[in-house]
Amino acid sequence: MAGLSRGAPDKITIKVRGDGTPLGDTQSEVEHQEAKAREEEEARAALGRSSNEELFERARRVLPGGVNSPVRAMRQVGLDPVFIESAEGAEVIDRDGRRYLDWVGSWGPMILGHTDPEVLAAIEKAAARGTSFGAATEAEVELGEEVASRMPSVEMIRMTSSGTEAAMTAARLARAATGREVLVKFAGAYHGHSDGLLAEAGSGVATHGIPSGPGIPAAQAAGTVVVPWNDRQALAEALDRHEVAAVFAEPVAANMGVVPPEDGYLEHLRAATSAAGALLVFDEVITGFRVARGGAQELYGVAPDLTVMGKIIGGGLPAAAVGGPRELMEKLAPSGDVYQAGTLSGNPLAVAAGLTTLRRLDDDAYARLAALTDRLVRGLEDLAGEHGLSVGSAPGLATLFFSARPVRDFEDAKATDRERHAAFYRAMLERGIWLPPSQFEAWFVSLAHDEIQIDRTLMAAAEALAATDPGRAIG
Ligand SMILES: Cc1ncc(COP(=O)(O)O)c(C=O)c1O
């Protein structure tokens, strides 16, 4: 890959706004970090090799595109993937020793930050007792109890290893419960990569501009109806025309960038699905245990029939779940006849990490996460105002959209200026800020972030925007 240069070639005077906190601390912290980065760069230069480039060459021989999940490739921002060696708190450290301030957080699970000592200790303790038994454990019961105490609509859960599987299970349950087949989803939403739910998906599908058809049986594609997010009329027509088993929604859309529901939209979804005899499935893989203690269903006060969970529930290890009322959940085998299973479902290490993470997420933690998000979002909004951009956000989540018009659905998200986003991304990476390499993803705020890091990010963003704004390029 093109060597990433460090330092700030386009330095300008930054006026970080927001709550008016003086910038003295931030400025000296930035200078300290830059000096450290220069030293590290010199040490790397002395070694005379770029191990990231070498590794990518090797990776491409054995992994398609050099990666194990498309969103990790940085093609869409004109770069090759950066290989990560380790992480700590709110930072990731690459193969060449560069440190980046991390706003990806492994795409959501790392809400406590990386290498949290309590989570690591819980994983070690669990591992010492055995890494997998393929049998029931007490900790799974505790995790079920913890989730049920948080999510108003959930009495029981069934664990899986990934959000994709949990969403598949929700679809099967909804079809079994209603005796209907059609699923409705929203354009730009992502519910994992299963056949029936990939149509017009956001996330990596949108990022890479990949058609959702190849490899998907026509019958599966025909069983899914896609409607625009935040559109009441289109949803009403879909529910009218088809015998719908379930409407799948990310209650805050976060895979086309962050696009919250308009006022009353979730209530409308609830009423319209109930009237049509369809189930409402909230995919809270991103929003769950992030936007509030009980997820978006608590934040907005709207109860779905089924909830898909992932990411935070595994505390950084592979775990996910589908949850709902006893009446629906007991349709799953062995209580009922809807089959679903998994060798590593409820894996003891993942359950230990998830349970430890959830128990740390109390009211104080959510107040702190909301305050941090607010500081970041207010700063981004000021910059957006100066540069003709817009911001979408929810507690713990934000996206800077390269479009002056607020984004309310996938069409708006697709109308953003992707080239400008890519230039901004590269300028941020050069300044040591690790963002999702796509316009269609969220920045994830964690409890390991602090005010100085947020101000550092805003200062870098001010520089990066000034350097890449086509109307106002400097330097
Ligand atoms: C809302 C949502 N649902 C489902 C998934 C799929 O989860 P997984 O990647 O664990 O299969 C994701 C992944 O990003 C997601 O964001």
Point out the domain boundary residue: 282, 311, 346. 346
Q: What is the pLDDT of residues 116-170, one digit of tens each?
A: 999 999 999 999 999 999 999 999 999 999 999 999 899 999 999 999 999 999 9
Of 116, 283, 305, 409, catalytic: 283
> Do 195 and 336 belong together in one domain?
yes
Q: Tell me if 210 is assigned to some domain.
A: yes
Ligand 1 atom, smallest distance to 320 CA: 10
CA-nearest of 77, 107, 74, 76 to 92 is 107
167 lines ligand 1 (CB under 6 A): yes
Would you call 425 a catalytic residue per the annotation? no
Tokens of 185: 């989803």
Point out the domain boundary residue: 317, 346, 375. 346
The whole domain housing 60 covers: 42-73
* CA distance readout (Å), 266 to 226, 257, 299, 304: 17, 18, 11, 9
pLDDT computed for residue 44 by the predictor: 60
> Do 170 and 287 belong together in one domain?
yes
Given a cut of 50, the residues of the chain with pLDDT beneath it are 1-22, 474-475
- CA 190 to ligand 1 center in whole angstroms: 7
> Do 58 and 189 belong together in one domain?
no
Ligand 1 atom, smallest distance to 250 CA: 1
pLDDT computed for residue 7 by the predictor: 37
Q: Tell me if 446 is assigned to some domain.
A: no
Q: What is the pLDDT of residues 62-99, one digit of tens each?
A: 999 999 999 999 999 999 999 999 999 999 999 888 99
- CA 191 to ligand 1 center in whole angstroms: 6
> Do 66 and 153 belong together in one domain?
no
pLDDT computed for residue 47 by the predictor: 62
Burial class (CB in 10 A: 0-12, 13-18, 19+), 32: exposed
> Do 66 and 156 belong together in one domain?
no
> Do 175 and 290 belong together in one domain?
yes
- CA 462 to ligand 1 center in whole angstroms: 31
Q: Tell me if 473 is assigned to some domain.
A: no
**Of 191, 317, 322, which is best to mutate to test ligand 1, by the most ligand atoms within 8 angstroms of its C-beta?**
191
- CA 436 to ligand 1 center in whole angstroms: 15
Query: What CATH number has the domain bearing residue 322?
Result: 3.40.640.10
Which letter does DSSP use for residue 414 in this model?
H
Q: Tell me if 182 is assigned to some domain.
A: yes
250 lines ligand 1 (CB under 6 A): yes
Q: Tell me if 229 is assigned to some domain.
A: yes
> Do 48 and 196 belong together in one domain?
no
Point out the domain boundary residue: 303, 321, 346. 346
Of 80, 102, 185, 190, catalytic: 190
Residue whose CA is closest, atom 1 of ligand 1?
A: 285
Distance between CA atoms of residues 330 and 306, nearest Å: 12
- Residues 6 or more apart whose CB falls under 8 angstroms from that of 243 comprise 180, 181, 182
How many separate domains does the chain show?
Answer: 2
283 lines ligand 1 (CB under 6 A): yes
> Do 65 and 157 belong together in one domain?
no
3-state secondary structure of 64: helix
- Furthest CA-CA distance within the chain: 69
> Do 265 and 153 belong together in one domain?
yes
Q: Tell me if 451 is assigned to some domain.
A: no
Q: Tell me if 366 is assigned to some domain.
A: no
> Do 162 and 68 belong together in one domain?
no
Ligand 1 atom, smallest distance to 163 CA: 7
Location of structure tokens 């398609």 = 64
Which letter does DSSP use for residue 130 in this model?
-
Q: Tell me if 267 is assigned to some domain.
A: yes
- Are the CB atoms for 305 and 347 separated by under 8 Å? no
> Do 48 and 176 belong together in one domain?
no
Ligand 1 atom, smallest distance to 69 CA: 9
Distance between CA atoms of residues 208 and 65, nearest Å: 12
107 lines ligand 1 (CB under 6 A): yes
pTM for this one?
0.91
> Do 191 and 318 belong together in one domain?
yes
Chain length of the chain: 475
Distance between CA atoms of residues 240 and 379, nearest Å: 44
- CA 386 to ligand 1 center in whole angstroms: 34
440 lines ligand 1 (CB under 6 A): no
Would you call 311 a catalytic residue per the annotation? yes
Ligand 1 atom, smallest distance to 107 CA: 14
294 lines ligand 1 (CB under 6 A): no
Would you call 409 a catalytic residue per the annotation? no
Helices 117-129 and 348-360, packing angle to 10 deg: 150
CA-nearest of 381, 384, 379, 375 to 445 is 375
